[in-house]
Chains A and B, each alone.
Chain A
């Protein structure tokens, strides 16, 4: 399924769009993370579809499921993907790396697009980590902080203020 098809998301399922964009971001660089972003998007879309079924949803869900199964097949030999704990650790490492970069830039007072995007992406990846079960208290706090930072810095930029 072409990537573009993947992003023709029915209106009622549009909440999964950020995770599919993040998956596309990682398709080449980190297929394991891309797989779990799509997996979380699928879980979320299935839950949304339960509330409000529509033929459009079904076409989209089947297409995403096909893509997930193909990804799993393509990554058959990947040791990380075949081990749940290794997968969880891998996604957490990726999320934490992106968060630490953003946090360091923030603490150094360097406010720029890449830093904002990194807070945003790390927040999404901490969401994706819920596919492995409930987040630890620490990760829940980090996830909340990353999302709050995106809102706070975006607000400052809109008001023409310097975030502190």
Chain B
């Protein structure tokens, strides 16, 4: 479960960065 939690946290961080990058272009 810890590994799973780690993996989902990592992909959430990825998504957050992708969203920030997208926002940068849309600003």
Contact = CB atoms under 8 A, between A and B. Distances in A.
A39 B26 CA distance: 13
Contacts of A46: 14, 17-18, 21
Given A49-B14, A53-B10, A65 B27 contact: no
Contacts of B21: 39, 42-43, 46, 65, 68
A56 interface: no
B9 to A, nearest CB: 10
A49 B11 CA distance: 10
The B interface, classified by DSSP as helix, strand, loop or mixed, is: helix
Contacts of B24: 39, 68-69, 72
A21 B24 CA distance: 21
Nearest to A131: B25
Nearest to B23: A69
A61 B10 contact: no
Interface in A1-50: 39, 42-43, 46, 49-50
Interface of B: 7, 10-11, 13-14, 17-18, 20-21, 24-25, 27
7 contacts: A42-B21, A46-B18, A46-B21, A58-B10, A58-B13, A65-B20, A72-B27
